[in-house]
Amino acid sequence: MGSYTANQMVTAPGAIATALGLGEHRASLAAWYGEPVSPADAVCLYTDTEKALRSRLCAGLPAFQLHVLQLLGHFWMDVSISLEYQQLATSANGQRDRALLEIVYGQLLLSRRQRPALEHLDRGFRLAAGYLDASDYFLLVRRHDLLRHIPLSATQAAPQGLQSLLAEAAVIRQLQGAVRHTCRDTRQDTIG
């Protein structure tokens, strides 16, 4: 999808494939949709989604997942998506659509280390729980538990993919465990 200079972000091939999964009949609630996409690829993704959306709407078919894919494209095009998220939240057709929106929005925010990413992931997980098979359920439990260690702020950070976030979260968790372990072991016996 285009050529890049040394200073441009290059999209991982899996990121586009995973994002396109949102256009499928039943998008996975356990997939990671927050993988960074270059602005050029985001424009292509948005343009392709716009065409697919027109076709589905003209045929009278459900198109919510394509609207979520447009949200993803806008995010990576550096367009503010908070209003778009709110509009989609009010137009979700049931609990599964709402779960997908919350999970995708939370993942996008987390990929840039923004608050309130974890609140959206938690809400999405609660809504999605009844739609997940056991392996996907525990995958999300483990992933979200580890990602809780990522420090978040109100401002955007440079985008990070899932593997980078998980590696960083694992190091932070390990360091926090070492600090807690050290604190417990430094207790002094005052009796004698």
pLDDT in tens, 32-88: 999 999 999 999 889 888 888 888 889 888 889 999 999 999 999 999 999 999 999
**What is the rounded average pLDDT of the residues 3-29?**
52
Cα–Cα distances in Å, from 109 out to 93, 105, 126, 156? Answer: 23, 6, 18, 8
**pLDDT at residue 11 tops 50:** no
pLDDT in tens, 76-125: 999 999 999 999 999 999 999 999 999 999 999 999 999 999 999 999 99
Q: How far apart are the C-alpha atoms of 120 and 123, rounded to whole Å?
A: 5
Q: Does residue 95 or residue 15 have the better pLDDT?
A: 95
Per-residue confidence (pLDDT) for residue 48, from 0 to 100: 87
Q: Could you tell me if 41 and 1 are in contact, meaning their C-beta atoms sit under 8 angstroms apart?
A: yes
Q: Which residues contact 117 (CB under 8 A, 6 or more apart)?
A: 106, 107, 109, 110, 152
Per-residue confidence (pLDDT) for residue 45, from 0 to 100: 87
**pLDDT at residue 140 tops 50:** yes
Asked whether the whole model's pTM tops 0.95, one would answer no
Enumerate the domain spans of the chain.
Answer: 13-185
Cα–Cα distances in Å, from 161 out to 13, 27, 140? Answer: 12, 20, 16
Q: Does residue 187 or residue 172 have the better pLDDT?
A: 172
**pLDDT at residue 144 tops 70:** yes
Which range, 23-27, 158-162, 182-186, is most confident? 158-162
pLDDT in tens, 182-192: 445 444 554 54
Per-residue confidence (pLDDT) for residue 183, from 0 to 100: 46
